[in-house]
Amino acid sequence: MVVYALCSEQDLLKRAQRGSDAALNELFLHLRPKVLDRCLTLSRERDDAEDLTQEILLKVHRHLHRFRGDSSLST
């Protein structure tokens, strides 16, 4: 088992783009609370926020290969 907990978001992103499932999981564990918090602020409904978070993370996964890294992924 590989642990990426001490890696930066940028490092995790690069590893995930190269196909590392472990890095992708760690990246999503890092991003999920931030995304969920924003979705809760917007929707004010926990279930809706959970659904939106899932959709956002799926979209990130689908388009991860196109992300250039000009900005932080969390933005």
**Domain spans in the chain, listed from the N-terminal domain onward:** 9-65
Q: pTM (2 decimals)?
A: 0.80
Mean pLDDT, range 23-49, rounded to an integer: 95
Within 8 A by CB and 6+ apart from 32, the residues are 53, 57
Contact assessment for residue 60 and residue 35, using Cβ atoms and an 8 Å cutoff: no
Residue 27 has pLDDT above 50, yes or no: yes
- Reading the block at residue 52, the tokens are 């939106």
Percent of the chain with pLDDT over 70: 92
In angstroms, the Cα distances linking 42 to 32, 57, 65 are 15, 16, 28
Measured N-to-C along each axis, helices 9-17 and 21-43 cross at an angle, to the nearest 10 degrees, of: 120
